Homo-oligomer: A and B are copies of this chain.
Amino acid sequence: MSILVVGSVAFDTLKTPFGERTKILGGAATYFSLSASYFTQVRVVGVVGEDFTAEHEAVLTSRGIDVRGIERASGNTFHWGGEYGENVNEAQTKFTDLNVFENFVPKIPDAYEDSKYLFLANIQPELQLDVRRKMPRVALVGGDTMNLWIDIKRAELLETLQQVDILLINDGEAKLLASDHSLVRSAKKILTMGPRALVIKHGEYGATIFFGDGSHPFRAPALPIAEVHDPTGAGDSFAGGFVGYLAKAGRVDDATIRKAVIYGSVMASFNVEDFSLNRLKGLSPAAIKQRYREFKHLTHFEVDEEF
């Protein structure tokens, strides 16, 4: 079943311990789409500028992603500059040129209206809510946000969260949103704000999904990776694998959600192995299947009959 994703399509200029790259393809919607494209049909709503070439577009279309919702505006594409030090868990922003993204108003093509899944990547909460309202018939809504919106648009964000089924954020965002130092207490508080499930991403330590109905949480580790070349887009790749698998399965039972968290972790683990979308654009189903098995091996232990 198809997924509509709204979010940034962007260029990144960045430096990591493995090198420097200038104006490489990035953006939350781009990472999400490529990742989810291995599971189901993806449709993108976003905006790019005149510097977005046919070659950039081909990264999406060659994976069968529907780009009719990517508007072309005059000016340049959103451009982010950042640097990761030896501790790749923390990015230092060098510049944020919003460019055409500054006045972005999402427009949903008629052909997208039958999308069954919606992912609201990290954009202003009012725009997320607007898109959500234009898609009243979707079966499931996933969403992301960031510290900036939690700080300066809290009221708007809280209104948006009422309309989100599964929120995917990181540790720091969860604690800021809940105003609490405990991750577990933060999760409990956030689950009273609207979402019925909350995925908290712990970076190199993995992710935990908490449920509002009192079901037990599920915790997945990240794959221990010695050489993280570029962590940009790891969270969006996770979201793409997670929502992508849920859409493919067409179910949201406990076993399916657990597998979806693992597929999210699988896609994030691939993404950080190279810059930009380099790793995500050429994966094979066999490679994804093999890495899923690696996660199984990483975490599996027997029940104990001896104790």
A residues at B contact (CB < 8 Å): 85-87, 181-185, 187-188, 202, 204-206, 208, 210, 216-221, 224-228, 248-249, 255, 258-259, 261-263, 285, 288-289, 292-294, 296-304, 306-307
- Interface pair B219/A299, CB less than 8 Å apart: yes
- Interface pair A258/B292, CB less than 8 Å apart: no
Choose among A184, A205, A261, A294 the residue with the greatest number of B CB atoms under 10 Å from its CB. A205
A227 vs B202: C-alpha distance when bound (angstroms): 19
- Within the complex, the shortest CB–CB distance from A196 to chain B, in Å, comes to 18
- Interface pair A226/B185, CB less than 8 Å apart: yes
Within 8 Å CB of A262, what residues of B?
Answer: 301
Within 8 Å CB of A204, what residues of B?
Answer: 183
Q: Which 9 A-B residue pairings sit nearest by Cβ, starting from the closest?
A: A86-B181, A205-B205, A219-B221, A258-B301, A184-B226, A184-B224, A185-B226, A299-B299, A219-B298
Instruction: Select A249's contact among B205, B208, B306, beta carbons within 8 Å.
Output: B306
A187 vs B226: C-alpha distance when bound (angstroms): 9
Instruction: Select A259's contact among B225, B299, B301, beta carbons within 8 Å.
Output: B301
28 contacts between A and B (CB under 8 A): A86-B182, A182-B227, A182-B228, A183-B204, A184-B224, A185-B226, A187-B224, A188-B226, A202-B205, A206-B219, A208-B221, A208-B224, A216-B297, A216-B298, A217-B224, A218-B301, A220-B221, A220-B301, A221-B221, A258-B300, A258-B301, A259-B302, A261-B301, A285-B307, A288-B307, A292-B303, A293-B303, A296-B301
- Within the complex, the shortest CB–CB distance from A246 to chain B, in Å, comes to 12
- Interface pair B216/A304, CB less than 8 Å apart: no
Q: Tell whether A298 pairs with B226 under 8 Å between CB atoms, given A181-B86, A249-B306, A292-B307.
A: no
Instruction: Select A225's contact among B184, B210, B300, beta carbons within 8 Å.
Output: B184
- Within the complex, the shortest CB–CB distance from A299 to chain B, in Å, comes to 5
A84 vs B205: C-alpha distance when bound (angstroms): 22
- Interface pair B208/A206, CB less than 8 Å apart: no
Instruction: Select A205's contact among B206, B299, B306, B307, beta carbons within 8 Å.
Output: B206
Query: Other CB < 8 Å A-B pairs besides A184-B224, A292-B307, 16 of them?
Result: A85-B181, A86-B181, A86-B182, A185-B226, A216-B294, A217-B224, A218-B299, A219-B224, A220-B221, A259-B304, A289-B304, A289-B307, A292-B303, A292-B304, A299-B299, A299-B301
Within 8 Å CB of A301, what residues of B?
Answer: 218, 220, 255, 258-259, 261-262, 296, 299
- Within the complex, the shortest CB–CB distance from A120 to chain B, in Å, comes to 26
Within 8 Å CB of A299, what residues of B?
Answer: 218-220, 299, 301
Q: Tell whether A302 pairs with B206 under 8 Å between CB atoms, given A181-B87, A289-B307.
A: no
- Interface pair B255/A302, CB less than 8 Å apart: yes
- Interface pair A221/B249, CB less than 8 Å apart: no
Within 8 Å CB of A187, what residues of B?
Answer: 224
